[in-house]
Structure 1
Amino acid sequence: MNKPDLKPVPRTERPSPEVAMEAVRTLIAWAGDDPDREGLRDTPGRVINAYREWFRGYDLDPATELSRTFEDVSGYDDMVVLRDIDVESHCEHHIAPFLGKAWVAYMPTDKVVGISKLVKVVEIFAKRLQTQETMTAQIAEAIEEALKPRGVAVMIDAEHQCMSTRGVHHPHVSTITTQFTGEFKTNPALQDRFLRVIGK
């Protein structure tokens, strides 16, 4: 299985704000409305500001967030688990939101990381155009590479608006993805324990 791509992004030069706003005007016209009418006149600027917020993960590096670790763990060698991390992302196929929760765990070796940094890693990958499967693997791989733990477990449960508001129109269907590495992958009892701890 190929490892997820953790290289820094973006890989292409960003257009200017003016070019981006003109693209929004074109889409408004393509949808059938007048981009010059009063209610839509400022929409292109609002859209690019929203994109700047929704996709800020392209400007951030998960390795940097995980680079400050602590070696004084006083012999702690059990799971570190974060539950119910909010996930707000956009699918790369329709740029439609998918919203849900993430659960992250790792088994430390000789170092740990601040728990807020794990939340930040989830956020960095969520704030990019994504598939849920890729994002789940990327989170696990970033933690694996930075901390060299005995194992990592990641689960994401999300509802995809590209399925609930278009296409098959099935709301309230959630998608669950998991990624296990190290001892979580080789030890089914540890996987089961992780699932019990997070209430799944």
Structure 2
Amino acid sequence: MESNYEKEELFSPEKVAALAGHYKAILELLGEDASREGLLKTPERVAKAMSFLTQGYGQDPKEILLSAKFREEYKQMVIVKDIELYSMCEHHMIPFYGKAHVAYIPNGYITGLSKIARVVEAFARRLQVQERLTVQIRDCIQQALNPLGVAVVIEASHMCMQMRGVQKQNCSTTTSAFTGAFLTQMQTREEFIQLIGK
């Protein structure tokens, strides 16, 4: 049966081929027959999937923010909440997933709202730990926009805790990182926590 469907791939063919060779060897080491019908294209599919899930290595989050940096005298809190994130635990290369809530108080400059979500994505699409991810997002926004303060809270579930090891299905992890007014002004931090909780 002939198919007219052709998917456009943006991955390096050389990189995909090299990764696929390794994944074929992994399948065989696990005791599988990499030549059986169901697994024939699996090494290539996994190679492309991992290239997609780690594409953040090829992105510059600070440049993402600077690409839409505008002068604006607004000095109240800007919050982008419930930003979905999917990342890979660097210890087991198993996914963790959840939501990021990001706020900043402009100091003469704002950025496009979608750029905040893109920064989260750029850092999440790498091998990560949630603690570092939280701090990287905070520091990137602070460095690119020099705001009066930045707040980042991430709530995530880790499949390395759910499907292996301790196997606890209903636990989640919350991390936070703050700068400026969110550190020094309790009322500002409380307002942020209240707003992301609604």
TM-score, normalized by length of structure 1? 0.89
1:189-200 → structure 2 map (5 Å cutoff): 189-199=187-197
Match of 1:111 among 109, 112, 116: 109
Aligned partners of 1:142 and 1:100: how far apart in 2? Answer: 20
Aligned twin of 1:12: none
Q: In structure 1, the residue corresponding to 2:197 is in which secondary structure?
A: coil
Of 134, 137, 140, 1:136 maps to 134
The residue that corresponds to 1:18 in the other structure is 17
Structure 1: which amino acid aligns with 2:127? L
Match of 2:41 in 1: 42
State the match for 2:84 in structure 1. Answer: 86
Q: Secondary structure at the match of 1:198?
A: helix
Query: Residue 28 of structure 1 aligns to a residue in which SS?
Result: helix
Separation (CA, whole Å) in 2 of partners of 1:76 and 1:192: 20
Structure 1 stretches of 4+ moved >3 Å: none
Provide the residue aligned with 1:70 in structure 2.
70
Bigger CA drift: 55-64 or 140-149? 55-64
Distance (Å, rounded) in 1 between the aligned partners of 2:170 and 2:24: 32
Task: Judge which range, 83-92 or 19-28, deviates more.
Answer: 19-28
Partner of 1:5: none
Matched residues in 2 for 1:70 and 1:152: separation?
A: 17
Which amino acid letter does the alignment assign opposite residue 169 of structure 1? Answer: Q
Give 1:19 shift.
Answer: 2.4
Give the SS at the match of 2:32: coil
User: What displacement does 1:26 show?
Assistant: 1.4
Measured on the aligned residues, the alpha-carbon RMSD in Å equals 1.2
Matched positions, count: 184
What do the CA deviations read for 1:142-198 (whole angstroms, capped 9, x no partner)?
000000000000000000000100000001210000000011011122111100000
CA distance in 1, matches of 2:146, 2:179: 11
Q: TM-score, normalised by structure 2?
A: 0.90
Aligned to 2:8: none
Shift of 1:16: 3.6
User: What residue in structure 2 maps to residue 175 of structure 1?
Assistant: 173
**Match of 2:194, as an amino acid?**
R
Segments of 5+ residues of structure 1 without an aligned counterpart are 1-14
Query: Which residue identity lines up with residue 17 of structure 1 in the other structure?
Result: V
The residue aligned with 2:149 is 151
Deviation of 1:20 after TM superposition, in Å, equals 1.2
Which of 157, 161, 164 matches 1:163?
Answer: 161
Secondary structure of 1:66's counterpart equals helix
Q: Which amino acid aligns with 2:113?
A: I
